[in-house]
Structure 1
């Protein structure tokens, strides 16, 4: 990767400098670019150094619950682990080797690679909340709105979206089939 530490000269004396502020990728792409194990592998979280929990009945699932002993990943630690992994040929705390963006100035790996908004928030948290609000198995809970679906649907259909948004809002009855762009 070629870098220009003093900037690029353009049109005579003008110097252009830029910095990479954030990178957002889906989880498999993030693992590939960061050269580390995927989210479902041991030490696959790019924000902490926890091994993760793998339930016996779900072998492809791994999650990383916060505990008082959770250790956050730090840039220097990730760079050192990458050096060790490159030397030994074995992953160190999930890091398989060097990440190509570390050559850029001001990059802090855990801070630069931000949470994937669409998959983590919209298709994760928002769809979970929608399911809980609408699913009849929660009808005894105070947050349940499944008995007010007609009202919710009529209000959703009255929303006037800007013309640059191509998709029109769908009924909440169909929330299980919503794509990420219906959830914001």
Structure 2
């Protein structure tokens, strides 16, 4: 584990920071570790299957365009569209052709030769020596879903009035129901009132989305909003499964 603090006018140079970590990881992946277990000595070999970052750090480590730029999404080849200075979207009507590891490596070489990004790739990534890019770099749902989507929904429910989705007038009733919940110890903490959501941790948003939100709000939100909320909660339940059947994946 590497703990570090970077001081300077610019963002850190990722190869400089990660080089000692990558070197240690490569050694773990190529050599065996002998461990004494109740069943006897075991030879253990490490393998890196995934690397997770928030969006700004991901772009820095992968040496790609930021998420809000053209070709900023590393999983597909879509260019995306700018809705505003701060909104870059990938429309569901587009033909989403997926990227491959070999293409990402090829585009890194082309970007270095051209001196400019190619399909959003600026150049080689130090991470490509130990992880499959893009398949080994999953989406960080803590920031993307919990602290972005769920927090944004709660902001609209609690702080907006005179809208069909507003819960402003029901906050006291929802808080009363919320504070009566007695979760098991695995949830690590008791629920807090929804009007304190701005101070919640990601773990609180997670429990709220996966377990509390639909039972709490089903009597207050119109059916169409509850239906879409169910889609989000069920989608996250499925994506967080360690194994999934073909039927449920459909």
Give yes or no for TM over 0.5.
Answer: yes
Q: Which runs of 5+ in 1 are unaligned?
A: none
Of 65, 68, 75 in structure 1, the residue corresponding to residue 101 of structure 2 is: 75
What's the RMSD between the two structures over aligned residues? 2.8
Query: Does structure 1 conserve the Cα–Cα contact (< 8 Å) formed by 2:100 and 2:134?
Result: yes
Distance 2:90 2:147 in 1: 18
1:181 aligns with 2:207: no
Report the 3-state secondary structure (helix = DSSP H, G, I; strand = E; otherwise coil) of the residue aligned with 1:136: coil
Of 70, 77, 100 in structure 2, the residue corresponding to residue 42 of structure 1 is: 70
Distance 2:42 2:92 in 1: 48
1:30-179 matches, cutoff 5 A: 30-55=58-83, 58-104=84-130, 107-134=131-158, 135-139=160-164, 145-161=167-183, 162=185, 165=188, 168-179=190-201
* Structure 2 CA distance for partners of 1:80 and 1:86, relative to 1, 3 Å: same
TM superposition shift of 1:119: 1.2
Name the count of aligned residue pairs: 176
Distance 1:171 1:109 in 2: 41
Of 48, 55, 68 in structure 2, the residue corresponding to residue 20 of structure 1 is: 48
Higher relative helix content: 2
| TM-score (normalizing by structure 2) | 0.60
Deviation string 1:18-40 (CA, Å, 9 cap, x unpaired) is 11122221111000111101111
Query: Does structure 2 conserve the Cα–Cα contact (< 8 Å) formed by 1:7 and 1:15?
Result: no
